[in-house]
Chain A
Amino acid sequence: MSTTETPTGTPPAPSGGVPATPPTPPQPAPASNSVTLTIDGQAVTVPKGTNVLEAARTLGIDIAAFCYHPGLPIVAQCRQCLVSVEKNPKLQPSCQQVCGDNMVVHTTDKQSTLARQQMLEFTLLNHPVDCPICDKAGECTLQKLYFDHDNQDSRVDVPKVHKDKAVDLGPTVVLDQERCILCSRCIRTCDVVAGQHQLEFANRGDHEILTTAPGEQLDNPYSLNTVDVCPVGALTAKDFRFTMRAWELEATPSVCNGCATGCNVEIHHKNGRAWRLVPRHNPDVNDYWMCDEGRFTYHDLREERLAAALVDGLPAGWDRALRAAADGLAIGRTSGQFAVVFSALHTNEDNFALAKLAQAWGVSHFYVAGKPPVPARADGRLRVADINPNMAGVKAITEALGLTVKPVYELDPSIRGLLALGDILPGVDPGRLKELEYVAITAHERGPVPHAKVALPTSDWAETSGTITNNKGHVQRMHAAFAPPGQAIAGWEVIVRLASISSTKLSWSHVRDVFKDMTAAVPAWNGLTWAREARPLALRFAGSRG
């Protein structure tokens, strides 16, 4: 992964959530469970069973490799990671070679340097070198290793073997058979992550190709992970293909809002717009993977966005909209027929701020709005039925504050005023909404929002700095990748403005102040800390990804 930004706000042990890059960090373990070996003259102690490649990475020695991936079974197929081990006459693939006590490994001696260079030359024999067209250029392992270890002109003077280009593998992925270096990472990814053996090699030698079974497609719900792990540009995502070059993008760590799993992601963005989501390593939540549906959630960031405050459906400035909202809500508030709707789609901070405002106003009716579950999604892997990113967070906050919360479809007939977070109110009749003093705090203008008397624009998840709580109770931090459109501001800030215009004191000036008050109020979250804002990482300097 190109960033190791910790999803802070993660609860203390056991769910640390710190994505350590190698799964086996060096630690002084009991003598029986650890081995000490020497790599390039440096001694290192690793747990028993660690391979030489991972042991070298803990020393900062990055052994070149194509087929090895820490999240996949080891096959030692690409022969790129050969190293020499003393007292062993032949070079050993360091991914498969398990560390032994007192082992002496050399990665820079003449023999292994030559092997590395010649293996690269062999890999490049029939590679088309169409980097100007290839989407992987800039984050390609083959490019990186060529510059690091080979760096010579091709010596081949016979025509290259040509294979099929732009092969349609399924609904999400396109294959270029010429670029494929036959590392089998994608095959293993389908086996391990999706549990479906959909890809396989066919033919032999120069003519070996990656393919699906005749008539079959690569259509599992985790298919785009194959694109991530592909060390070259053989597999490209139809969704991202030919839109951006990797080096133009910047990466900001965040959390997927597609479902309650809360997979850690990187938002790859440019010009105030997300272009793709890729998984970020977190062994407690999603390991190295995420589902295809989650990857496509970034499209929604540009759909039907509310960029200005609306009063009766017409754009208004913040001042007028806030006054209209406060006046409208005051009627319902004084009569006691007033309800607040929390949103399972908004952050912990937004919901906590709303709860505090409601408490200050003396509201007694509380509801929660969330998308209905999709049981067909649940597969025992990463996808779950609950497609709300923060239902657990709303539950924790309202329980800690002692609020009785009902689903929003049980909206009491006596309610006259409604202050609702989010753009969904499932089960509420739109005709009824028109009669209510309904104020929406939302990022999108859709669903019930057009019926609102006042709609106040907020940032959507990728534009928000805040935390959400997944179904395992991990409070995970999202960083703002870019600015929200138009006049939109963070949800908690809308609530602070609404409080201030109705003479209620909510004295937060930064989202970390809300977070601090919230973690103090929710016993399960006591002691959580707020990390500094992550600076977007320019992928231009990130090296290869895959």
Chain B
Amino acid sequence: MSASHHEEETHDMGLKVLSTSTIHPRVRTVQVSRPEAQDTTFLAATAKGLGVTLKHFARNLFLPMKKLAKRNAAGAPTDETWRNEIETVQYPEEKVTYPERFRGLHRLTLREDGNVRCVACMCCPTVCPAHCITIIPAETDDKGIEKKPAIFEIDELRCVVCGLCVEACPCDAIRMDTGMHARPVEDRADAIETRETMMGRGVRSIAVQGGEGPDWRAHGHEVTKTDVNR
């Protein structure tokens, strides 16, 4: 900026005082720094941006051709090889891969027999900061498990995608590793995910209730509770 560094009188905030009021000494006219014309036109920034675009354009145009020519010489070229070199992603057809810890839509994992793993312990609705989880428990015929969710609903409009439900779950019953975004809906009620929808995305979990159990020594430290058999 062009503000002079040779100010006779400087305000606390580093502003140059042009005049002071006679009525009240603290009422003053000061000079504030404004961007100069060369900055306000954004000419330099526009040129810089165009440069980036041109660079990508050139790269998209020439690099694949160069590589293609190289591969052609080597033989067996495929479409994918040169397409991978292009910076631009053809969005609806192609999608960038999300990081491994991306939290997408919820899924309910399944037991070996295909039933829901959730035992309706109510830890996730308790911890949920958005109060978006509704569970109504019911008793099952299985005397070893005893309890299941009759209703398990998540309001995806309310969900803040914090992942605390996954952290809180003692049974590896709920996960957010689908990589899916919340669906666009026309009606608010359609944004409520039901137990069946989330089980439909479900995978079988081999986590052992209450940890690895008495055989924990045999497992060593390599075992992961989140082994997935798709």
Contact of B209 among A130, A157, A165, A248 (CB under 8 A): A130
A157 and B214 within 8 A (CB): yes
Segment at the interface with B among A113-121, A131-139, A298-306: A131-139
Contact of B137 among A130, A165, A243 (CB under 8 A): A243
Instruction: Give the nearest-CB partner of A128 in chain B.
Output: B210
CA distance A133 to B121 in the complex (A): 6
Interface of chain A residues 246 through 272 with chain B (CB within 8 A): 247-248
B214 and A133 within 8 A (CB): no
Name the B residues within 8 Å of A133 (CB-CB). 119, 121, 145-147
> Is A241 an interface position by the 8 A CB rule?
yes
Given contacts A157-B214, A157-B216, A242-B139, A137 and B121 within 8 Å (CB-CB): yes
Interface of chain A residues 137 through 166 with chain B (CB within 8 A): 137, 156-160, 165-166
Report, as a range, how many residues of chain A touch the other chain. 20 to 34
A242 and B170 within 8 A (CB): no
> Is A245 an interface position by the 8 A CB rule?
yes
> Is A428 an interface position by the 8 A CB rule?
no
Given contacts A160-B214, A242-B138, A132 and B171 within 8 Å (CB-CB): yes
CA distance A116 to B101 in the complex (A): 42
Name the A residues within 8 Å of B145 (CB-CB). 133
Interface of chain B residues 3 through 41 with chain A (CB within 8 A): none
> Is B122 an interface position by the 8 A CB rule?
yes
Contact of A132 among B123, B213, B215 (CB under 8 A): B123
How many whole Å from B152's CB to the nearest CB in chain A? Answer: 14
Q: Is the interface of A mostly helix, strand, loop or mixed?
A: loop
Contact of B143 among A129, A137, A166 (CB under 8 A): A166
B119 and A132 within 8 A (CB): yes
Name the B residues within 8 Å of A241 (CB-CB). 139
Name the A residues within 8 Å of B170 (CB-CB). 131-132
B31-70 interface bits toward A, Cβ cutoff 8 Å, 1 = contact, 0 = none: 0000000000000000000000000000000000000000
> Is B144 an interface position by the 8 A CB rule?
yes
> Is B126 an interface position by the 8 A CB rule?
yes
Name the B residues within 8 Å of A158 (CB-CB). 214
How many whole Å from B81's CB to the nearest CB in chain A? Answer: 51
B210 and A129 within 8 A (CB): yes
Name the A residues within 8 Å of B181 (CB-CB). none
B108-127 interface bits toward A, Cβ cutoff 8 Å, 1 = contact, 0 = none: 00000000000111110010
How many whole Å from A365's CB to the nearest CB in chain B? Answer: 51
CA distance A166 to B145 in the complex (A): 10
CA distance A157 to B143 in the complex (A): 25
Name the A residues within 8 Å of B123 (CB-CB). 132
Name the B residues within 8 Å of A130 (CB-CB). 209-210
B126 and A247 within 8 A (CB): yes
Instruction: Give the nearest-CB partner of B173 in chain A.
Output: A132
CA distance A166 to B170 in the complex (A): 21
A160-178 interface bits toward B, Cβ cutoff 8 Å, 1 = contact, 0 = none: 1000011000000000000
CA distance A394 to B192 in the complex (A): 53
How many whole Å from A172's CB to the nearest CB in chain B? Answer: 15
Name the A residues within 8 Å of B122 (CB-CB). 245, 248
CA distance A243 to B147 in the complex (A): 10
Interface of chain B residues 131 through 147 with chain A (CB within 8 A): 137-139, 143-147
Of A131, A159, A242, A248, which is in contact with the most chain B CB atoms at under 10 Å from its CB? Answer: A242
How many whole Å from A234's CB to the nearest CB in chain B? Answer: 13
CA distance A159 to B147 in the complex (A): 24
- A sample of 19 cross-chain residue pairs with beta-carbon separation below 8 angstroms, ordered by A number, consists of A129-B210, A131-B121, A131-B170, A132-B121, A132-B123, A132-B171, A133-B119, A133-B121, A133-B145, A137-B121, A157-B214, A165-B143, A165-B144, A241-B139, A242-B137, A242-B138, A242-B147, A245-B121, A247-B126
Further contacts, 18 of them, CB under 8 A, given A245-B121, A245-B126: A129-B210, A132-B119, A132-B121, A132-B123, A133-B119, A133-B145, A156-B214, A157-B214, A157-B216, A157-B217, A159-B213, A160-B214, A166-B143, A166-B146, A241-B139, A242-B120, A247-B126, A248-B126
8 tightest A-B CB contacts, nearest first: A132-B121, A245-B122, A166-B143, A132-B170, A159-B214, A242-B137, A133-B119, A129-B210
